[in-house]
Amino acid sequence: MQSRKFVFEMQNLLGNMITLFFGFAFAPMMGLVFGGSYSDVPQALNQIYLSFFCTIPLSMVFVGFSSLFSQEMERGFTLRAELFGYSRLSQAWHKFMAITVFVILSSIIYSYIFLSYFKLPLPNLSIIAQMAIFQILSTAIYFLIVFLLTILLKKFSRVYGVAMISYFGIMIISGIMGNMNVGRIGAYLPIKMFITNYATHLGDTSYISGKIGLYSLILLAGLSMIVKAVVGRSNGNKHQR
């Protein structure tokens, strides 16, 4: 990792209002609003806490990053940076690192606001670690999806359209927004699994859910392979020596 490029990508995110609002303000705002009507049902509060916890990487990547990156792609910044020796994969890597830092930071701020507002105890340490891992894996999965979308669709309007549909689609299917009944499929959606599994175990010392992590890793591996293939192909017409 190159430090100035990491700083560059951090500043790039920091300068983007959409990323700041949806990445940092959306989850606590929604959490407080929805939590307000269940303020004395701990089980429901846990569920709401985890639901909007899950929206942090989702909003950061699908709403913030997708707008930023697709505009860079459309206006040729991605290519320009490549010509300065900042390769596409390196750009992806530094952007991902910066977003992950933002997601972790936002998750901490959100947790602090939500838990202290509703006077809930801090989850058990081993649960916190699992939540962090889930958050990072989710960020990576969403990131690869949006990165791929942008490389394939190129234009801001197209990328953003698809990203927004996916954003709301994922929130609806996972039951964060509205109450659509997805039946048994719900049990296999990582976010839904995460929320229902952990809502009852936030205070447990011995609870470990390997299934969610495994799911995420498989998804991640598949996506990485696709991205590698696509990025490799789109760089395929370099000058011949």
* Owner of token pair 């890597």: 93
Query: Nearest distance from residue 19's CB to another protein, in Å?
Result: 9
Q: Which two tokens stand for residue 5?
A: 């490029």
* Owner of token pair 């790039």: 12
238 binds another protein (CB under 8 A): yes
Q: Which two tokens stand for residue 119?
A: 């006077």
Q: Within 13 A of 23's CA, how many CA atoms are on the CB side? A: 28
d(CA 187, CA 27): 23
155 binds another protein (CB under 8 A): no
Candidate list 12, 107, 130, 135; residue touching another protein; CB under 8 A: 12
171 binds another protein (CB under 8 A): no
Query: Nearest distance from residue 94's CB to another protein, in Å?
Result: 9
Binding segment for another protein among 11-19, 156-164, 191-199, 207-215 (CB under 8 A)?
11-19
Q: How many residues does the chain have?
A: 241
CB 102 within 8 A of CB 60: yes
76 binds another protein (CB under 8 A): yes
Q: Which two tokens stand for residue 7?
A: 């700083």
Query: Nearest distance from residue 76's CB to another protein, in Å?
Result: 6
65 binds another protein (CB under 8 A): no
231's CB contacts (< 8 A; 6+ apart) are 88, 89, 92, 151
Q: Residue 77 or 168: which CB sits closer to another protein?
A: 77
d(CA 130, CA 209): 8
Candidate list 75, 155, 211, 233; residue touching another protein; CB under 8 A: 75
9 binds another protein (CB under 8 A): yes
Residues that bind another protein (CB under 8 A): 2-5, 7-9, 11-16, 68, 72, 75-77, 79-81, 83-86, 237-241
